[in-house]
Structure 1
Amino acid sequence: MQTNGIRPATRPAPPRTGRGRRRLSARARRAVLFLHIVAGVGWFGIAAVTFVLTVAALTSSDAAIVRAGYEFHELLIGSLARPASLITLGTGLILCAGTKWGIAKHYWPLVKLVLVVVTISITASLTPGWIATALRPSGTPFTGDHLDAQVNLIGMAVFHVLTIGAATWLSIYKPGGRTRWNQWRTGNASPA
């Protein structure tokens, strides 16, 4: 509808990034950031709980408590940690692609991506075997393979706490500046 030759105001299109890509709107960015933070905090909390759980299972002399601890650990990983880690990864990629930071423009998002992918990959490949070994019945649960699996599960929980903590630190402080690839692409440096 026009009045006196004046056109009604329209919303401007979201700003485009480098290669014709659109950035997330402020509302979408906040929604994705909210999901990213909740999933990351959840993943960190699950890692802390699994640390306490695996230490308690290692130090318990009651075989029923040890078994229940590792069964609960397996439940936590399958039903909470795996979805939280994948949501963290997916929302992180969306935020990188849809904001000024990009995936490979700055070092900190690239390092975060590597940390998350490595953590998910290592966990998915090693943890199921360790849990199965810790759950396997044995007359002496504190020797050999059982002890190794229990100690490895504690180490994995510590690894998660450290990598998720490092990723959080990177998000807050954003160290490292622009990548060489981005400097070369934008004309601020010569290719190496």
Structure 2
Amino acid sequence: MTKLSASQQKLLKGFHMIFAGLWLSCVIVLGLLPIISAQITNGDEIYMYNLAYHFIDMLILTPAAILTFLTGLVYSIFTAWGFARHGWILYKWIVTLLIIVVGTVYLGPMVTDLLAISDAKRAAALQDPYYHRGHTIGLYAAIINSALLISAVFFSIYKPWKNLKK
């Protein structure tokens, strides 16, 4: 299979790092956003909070995660790094796929539901048990995803579990 040249690899690595950094930044912001929500009492503020959360999640974080995945895929196919030649790469694949699948199947729809609840109920959303549970799950998911993505960044730097095929 054709491999990327050194300059093509550097360009791809640059885009991969930009997309991964954007993904991680969005996850951290979503973890910090609930600090603001603790002071919200007005129904319009609740809706705007959820609209901003939904915007970040669906229109910035999701494309960044997908582009991180795709640039990683190109990197694995068209360079000598491969998919599972090194343990740290395998770890990054597991983390990436786990977060994307859980986000797509569970967290994304939940964020959309919370936006709909806040739009329909406004201030009454604060008394809705599903809204509270979703809000709490979103916070824990952001903390866990931040930890997983930060560990993936450091694994990319320190490269533990080198060369599994030795």
Q: Identify the TM-score tier after normalising by the shorter chain.
A: 0.7 to 0.9
Q: 4+ runs of 1 displaced by more than 3 Å?
A: none
Map 1:57-76 → 2, pairs under 5 A: 57-76=37-56
Partner of 1:144: 129
For 1:122 and 1:159, locate their aligned partners in 2 and report how far apart those are by CA, in whole Å. Answer: 12
TM-score, normalising length: structure 2: 0.88
Q: 2:62 aligns with which of 69, 82, 87?
A: 82
What's the CA shift string for 1:48-101, capped at 9, x where partnerless? 211222332245223222211111111112211111001101111222223232
- Letter paired with 2:149: I
Amino acid at match of 2:32: V
Larger mean Cα displacement after TM superposition, 56-65 or 30-39: 56-65
Indicate how the Cα distance of structure 1 residues 161 and 142 shifts in structure 2: closer, same or farther if over 3 A, else same.
Answer: farther
- For the pair shown, which has the larger CA radius of gyration, 1 or 2? 1
Q: Which runs of 5+ in 1 are unaligned?
A: 1-20, 184-192
State percent identity of aligned pairs: 19
SS in 2 for 1:102: coil
Q: Quote the residue 2:21 is aligned against.
A: 41
Match for residue 186 of structure 1?
none
Q: Verify the 8 A CA contact 1:107 1:175 in the aligned structure 2.
A: yes
Cα pair 2:23 2:65 within 8 Å, conserved: yes
Change (3 A) 1:52 1:142: farther
For 1:141, what is the secondary structure of its paired residue?
Answer: helix
Change beyond 3 A, Cα 1:110–1:165 = same
Q: Which residue is 2:161 aligned to?
A: 176
Q: Deviations over 1:97-138 (max 9, x none)?
A: 232321111111111011001001101111233224433126
Query: Which residue is 1:11 aligned to?
Result: none
Partner in structure 1 of residue 108 of structure 2: 128
Q: Distance in 2 between matches of 1:133 and 1:58?
A: 20
Cα deviations by residue, 1:139-164 (Å, 9 ceiling, x for unpaired): 35145211101101111211221121
TM-score normalised over the length of structure 1: 0.77
Q: Which runs of 5+ in 2 are unaligned?
A: none
Aligned position for 2:94: 114
Change (3 A) 1:59 1:143: farther
Q: How many residues align?
A: 161
- Aligned-pair Cα RMSD in Å: 1.8
| Greater share of helix | 2
Q: Distance in 1 between matches of 2:41 and 2:102?
A: 29
